[in-house]
């Protein structure tokens, strides 16, 4: 199993994104593995596509549907309390979403994440694929 971060998902689907080419290469490398996302990744992705990138809404709908059909989707709300505890006790600041993903990965014994965010490099038990 491998967890997919939002920035990888956005880069994969949006050709004009900085890491699009690399995301396609990674997709080939991990194609035979179970690819995990959470509902929060879906929400983050749609928010970026709609608000930041202002993409065509039909394209956004297509991506939304593909996220549910192409990946294993995990309910993530179970991990919020533990993630908040991590936020409050962490020396470094990074997004709450990413704390949730770290907790989720730990609880589900997922040791790899596809992400272009470097702050995942320093997380115990996590290997970042980038």
Q: Is the pLDDT of residue 104 over 90?
A: yes
8 lies in which domain range?
A: 2-129
In the predicted model, what is the mean pLDDT of the chain?
Answer: 96
pTM recorded for the entire structure: 0.95
34-47 per-position pLDDT tens digit: 999 999 999 999 99
Number of structural domains in the chain? 1
CATH number at residue 24: 3.40.50.1010
List % helix, strand, coil for the chain (3-state, nearest 5). Answer: 60, 10, 30
Q: Is the pLDDT of residue 92 over 90?
A: no
CA atoms within 13 A on the CB side of 44: 20
CA distance 129 to 48: 22
- Three-state DSSP string of 69-117: HHCEEECCHHHHHHHHHHHHHCCCCCCHHHHHHHHHHHHCCCCEEECCC
């Amino acid at each position: 199993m491998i967890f997919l971060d939002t920035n990888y998902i956005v880069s994969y689907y949006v050709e004009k994104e900085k890491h699009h080419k690399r995301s396609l290469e990674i997709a080939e490398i991990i194609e035979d593995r179970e690819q995990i996302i959470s509902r929060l990744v879906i929400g983050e992705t749609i928010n970026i596509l709609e608000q930041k990138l202002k993409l065509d809404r039909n394209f956004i709908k297509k991506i939304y549907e593909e996220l549910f059909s192409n990946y294993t989707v995990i309910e993530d709300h179970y991990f919020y309390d533990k993630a908040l505890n991590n936020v409050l006790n962490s020396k470094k600041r990074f997004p709450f979403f990413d704390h949730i993903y770290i907790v989720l990965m730990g609880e589900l014994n997922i040791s790899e994440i596809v992400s272009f965010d470097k702050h995942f490099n320093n997380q115990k038990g996590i290997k970042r694929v980038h």
